[in-house]
DNA sequence: TTGAAAGCGATACCAG
DNA sequence: CTGGTATCGCTTTCAA
């Protein structure tokens, strides 16, 4: 691979000049530029990004931590982020945190040791204090789907509580009063917030929450199955079921089918997230839309603006969820 | 951030020695090592990976190109690859090729300019010749799900034809004779191979293929919907439907429901890939298992062995698909 | 507008 | 086992 030095020799200019045409930072005389470009062409020169990083103290890489690489939710998030950065000539380094505090911290350290210019974090387990410290350490990062006091300006979130509210409100408006709820793990902020929204809606409609109609799931399909069966065993009848996310709703629907129940006639079901295949279920799932693509894009833009000084205007920090009515309610 | 030089000063040793304890390459006297480690500790030293890369000519990063970042298939693939490399202290840089030749080439160039030590490619559109050239250029890479003549030793594939055969064979064994087929885009190698398998099975059972029972889809859910409707409009009755992948099978099932057909009583459906949520469908989807996790792992190990000289024994290049019977047949 | 030269923070070879 | 030093390929003052 040709080096900048060889290019400069061939073009008969100095090494510094070649650097200038590469980065087109300060003006270069047209004739010179052409000579250099011709030389680069001839040698098939491509800058060594590692050397560039070392000299400029910028790696042009952004680290991303998500809970899982798989799954429809993260897939879409990553996809959007990669797209945005790719267009800007940056690249992403991805690590999984597996919703585990140690792994999340590991991932962050790992990416940091990789000299990432910035991080985009979707972490659930690490403590707020750790994140605040991290911010103080000078590392630029944005936080997705989590609001942490003290570093609000780095948080991009969905109003999960509002989403939870919408879901249950809809059920109430449809006339349901016996509404079961399968939440995500309550130690996760979003799961708790969605559940809070549920309770708020019940209160608004003066419906008492019945603890027998609550089940704490795991945000996975099996959680929906187990939750549904558990709720049925409690003996308290319910005509509607609100789930903390689509995966669990899907599991609940499967369990309902197996119990011989009709959806939505006997039990109406609503999910949360509007993941890609929430219409694969039968019947198609009513849900709350989580604008994951927009949020991913916004996170990327945050970095572009704050870290790379790109002129970006519309930075939005709070997103509002929306009800998507399909056939399961 | 402390540099290796500061550590060497504090420890009272040479810069070279510090490097030695970091990489523990050649032996270092215990006392010296301890001094150095203490110094590193005190300064909170962490090696600058960019400088390491420049000096050692190794970036410890592996580039990956997949068609899409989202979706259950790629999610699982990436997840497994990341895991494997993470454990080895390497990191992955991911780019999307979107099944488009130009974008795929761009992605490869992009990753290459990032000085990746190796590439793992799941590319569908670029021509074989390009890949052969790429190999000749000296860039180490493995190819997933594609067999290219001339660089066989870099290919890790599933026997797609065998999978296609298995699917149709199963339908035939169940007594079906009017079997419709919805393929993926036939310009994609795997789509074509799966279809070949289908034809082989028909031939084996001496069943004539009926062109009215074939539809070329897009590997997406909508392709399944459209394909199913198209096939029905042809007027040729069929009691079984073989799909080129699970997404299309899922779409076909939805379309069948809408047409008021019972599955599997009136139409038996089988997919291909066994993606995570193929049991979200109702009824649960019978399919052909694509061992995506194993293949991802194998690709990572290939790199670990060939590029980083890790002692790895069992490199497997060809994987055999397996029939998974569920409720849709 | 261009050139010369000093780093950036490590690795690795060559002596000792 | 340890130290000195050239080197990796590029960016970035500082002068001219």
The pLDDT confidence band at residue B259, using thresholds 50, 70 and 90, is: very high
The stretches of B100-245 forming alpha helices (DSSP H) are 101-113, 128-136, 160-173, 189-204, 221-233
DSSP 3-state assignment of A35?
helix
Rounded-to-integer distance, Cα B84 and Cα B90, Å? 9
Residues in B touching A62 (Cβ below 8 Å): none
Q: Which helix (H) or strand (E) holds B20?
A: helix B15-23
Q: Which of A69, A79, A95 sits opposite B96 (nearest CB)?
A: A79
Q: In percent, how much of chain B has pLDDT > 90?
A: 72
Residues in A touching B273 (Cβ below 8 Å): none
Nearest nucleotide to the CA of B53, by C1', is C10
Q: Any idea which residue has 């509210």 for tokens?
A: A165
Q: Residues A202, A203, A207, A210: is their CA dihedral positive or negative?
A: positive
Q: Is A23 exposed, middle or buried (0-12, 13-18, 19+ CB in 10 A)?
A: exposed
Q: Which residues touch A134 (CB under 8 Å, ≥6 apart)?
A: A108, A141
The secondary structure of B228-255 as a DSSP string is: HHHHHHT----SEEEESSHHHHHHHHHH
Please check whether residue A123 is in contact with residue A104, taking contact to mean a CB–CB distance below 8 angstroms. Answer: yes
The pLDDT confidence band at residue B278, using thresholds 50, 70 and 90, is: low
Q: Mean pLDDT throughout B252-271?
A: 94
Q: Give B166's Cβ-side CA count (13 Å radius).
A: 19
CA distances from B76 to A62, A68, B68, B72, B81 (A): 22, 9, 12, 6, 9
* Ramachandran region, residue A22 (left: φ > 0; alpha: ψ -120 to 50; beta: rest): alpha
Residue from B22, B282, B293 to probe the interface with A (highest A Cβ count within 10 Å): B282
* Token output for B235: 């007027």
Angle made by CA atoms B183, B185, B189, in degrees to the nearest 5:
95
The pLDDT confidence band at residue B279, using thresholds 50, 70 and 90, is: low
Instruction: Name which of A245, A222, A321, A325 is nearest A283 in CA terms.
Output: A325
Q: Mean pLDDT throughout B181-210?
A: 96
Say how far B61 CA is from C4 C1', in Å: 35
Q: What is the pLDDT of residue A278?
A: 67
Crossing angle of helices A72-87 and B72-87, rounded to 10°: 80
The pLDDT confidence band at residue B276, using thresholds 50, 70 and 90, is: confident
Q: Which of B49, B74, B82 sits opposite A114 (nearest CB)?
A: B49
Give the nearest chain A residue to B253 (CA atoms).
Answer: A280
Q: What is the pLDDT of residue A112?
A: 85
Rounded-to-integer distance, Cα A256 and Cα B125, Å? 43
Which positions of strand D lie within 7 Å of protein CB atoms?
1-5, 7-13
CB spacing of A46 vs B113 below 8 angstroms: yes
User: How close is the nearest chain A Cα to the Cα of B158, in Å?
Assistant: 21
Q: Residues A297, A300, A305, A310: is their CA dihedral positive or negative?
A: negative
Q: Any idea which residue has 């929430």 for tokens?
A: A278
Structural domains in chain B, CATH included, are 4-56 (1.10.260.40), 61-158+292-320 (3.40.50.2300), 160-289 (3.40.50.2300)
Task: Give per-residue pLDDT as tens, B122-155.
Answer: 999 999 999 999 999 888 999 999 999 999 999 9
- Greatest mean pLDDT among A149-153, B23-27, B70-74, B104-108: A149-153
CB spacing of A79 vs B61 below 8 angstroms: no
CB spacing of B94 vs A92 below 8 angstroms: yes
CA distances from B169 to A199, A223, B161, B231 (A): 53, 36, 12, 21
Q: What is the pLDDT of residue B111?
A: 87
C1 C1': nearest CA residue: A28
Residues in B touching A74 (Cβ below 8 Å): 75
DSSP 3-state assignment of A327?
coil
Q: Which helix (H) or strand (E) holds B180?
A: strand B179-183
The pLDDT confidence band at residue B289, using thresholds 50, 70 and 90, is: very high
Q: In percent, how much of chain B has pLDDT > 70?
A: 99
Q: Which residues touch A308 (CB under 8 Å, ≥6 apart)?
A: A88, A90, A117
User: How close is the nearest chain B Cα to the Cα of A154, in Å?
Assistant: 23
Pairing of the two strands A287-289 and A322-324? antiparallel
Residues in A touching B69 (Cβ below 8 Å): 75, 78-79, 82
Q: Which residues touch B79 (CB under 8 Å, ≥6 apart)?
A: A68, A69, A70, A96, B293, B296
Instruction: Name which of A247, A242, A251 is nearest A269 in CA terms.
Output: A242
D9 C1': nearest CA residue: A51
Task: Give per-residue pLDDT as tens, B80-106.
Answer: 999 999 888 888 888 889 999 998 998
* Phi and psi at residue B268, to the nearest 5°: -90, 140
* Token output for B184: 């993926």
CB spacing of B53 vs A50 below 8 angstroms: yes
Strand partners, B92: B62
Residue from A277, A300, A327 to probe the interface with B (highest B Cβ count within 10 Å): A277
Q: Is B234 exposed, middle or buried (0-12, 13-18, 19+ CB in 10 A)?
A: middle
Collect the ranges in chain A with pLDDT lower than 50: none
The secondary structure of B69-106 as a DSSP string is: SSSHHHHHHHHHHHHHHHHTT-EEEEEE-TT-HHHHHH
């Amino acid at each position: 691979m040709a080096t900048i030095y060889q290019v400069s020799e061939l073009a008969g200019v100095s090494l510094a000049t070649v650097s200038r045409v590469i980065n087109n930072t300060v003006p270069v005389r047209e004739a010179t530029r052409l000579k250099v470009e011709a030389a680069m062409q001839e040698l098939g020169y491509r800058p060594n990004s590692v050397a560039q990083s070392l000299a400029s103290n910028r790696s042009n890489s952004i680290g991303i931590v998500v809970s899982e690489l798989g799954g429809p939710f993260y897939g879409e998030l990553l996809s959007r982020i990669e797209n945005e950065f790719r267009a800007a000539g940056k690249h992403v380094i991805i690590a999984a945190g597996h919703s585990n505090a140690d792994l999340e911290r590991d991932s962050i350290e790992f990416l940091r040791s990789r000299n990432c210019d910035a991080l985009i974090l979707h972490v659930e387990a690490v403590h707020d204090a750790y994140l605040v410290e991290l911010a103080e350490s000078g590392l630029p990062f944005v936080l997705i789907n989590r609001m942490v006091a003290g570093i609000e300006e780095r948080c991009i979130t969905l109003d999960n509580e509002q989403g939870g509210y919408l879901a249950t409100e809809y059920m109430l408006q449809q006339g349901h009063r016996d509404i079961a709820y399968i939440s995500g793990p309550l130690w996760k902020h979003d799961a708790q917030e969605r559940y809070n929204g549920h309770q708020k809606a019940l209160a608004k409609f003066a419906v008492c929450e019945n603890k027998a109609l609550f089940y704490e799931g795991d945000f996975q399909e099996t959680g929906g199955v187990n939750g549904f069966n558990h709720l049925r065993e409690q003996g308290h009848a319910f005509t509607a079921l609100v789930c903390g996310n689509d995966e669990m709703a899907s599991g609940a629907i499967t369990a309902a089918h197996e119990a011989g129940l009709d959806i939505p006639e006997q039990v109406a079901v609503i999910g949360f997230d509007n993941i890609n295949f929430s219409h694969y279920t039968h019947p198609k799932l009513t849900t709350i839309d989580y604008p994951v693509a927009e949020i991913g894009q916004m996170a990327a833009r945050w970095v572009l603006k704050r870290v790379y000084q790109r002129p970006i205007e519309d930075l939005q920090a709070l997103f509002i969820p929306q009800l998507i009515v399909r056939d399961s309610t």
